[in-house]
Amino acid sequence: MVKCPYCGYEGEFKELRSPWKFNFYTVRRFECPRCHNPFQYYEGRTKNKERVEFTIRMKRSS
């Protein structure tokens, strides 16, 4: 489950861009409906088939 790194909201997020690949990750850019801050969500599997996921905060574009 994706969780907002700013306010901790878990649920449906607005997708700001279609998903893309970065190495073995699939990256998605979301905006939180509660705090309206953008973040990127990375998910994938390593060569050893271990599941990896994390989020990165982003600066809001002006």
Q: Where are the domains of the chain?
A: 14-57
Model confidence at 17: pLDDT above 90: yes
Q: For position 8, what pLDDT does the model report?
A: 94
Distance CA 59, CA 13 (A): 17
Confidence of residue 61 (pLDDT cuts 50, 70, 90): low
Q: What is the mean pLDDT of residues 57-62?
A: 76
The residue with greater pLDDT, 22 or 60, is: 22
For residues 25-44, average pLDDT: 96
> Across all residues in the chain, what is the average pLDDT?
93
Q: DSSP string spanning 40-51?
A: EEEEEE-TT--E
| Residue among 29, 32, 26, 28 nearest 11 (CA) | 32
Neighbours of 36 (CB within 10 A): 11
d(CA 13, CA 51) in angstroms, rounded, equals 22
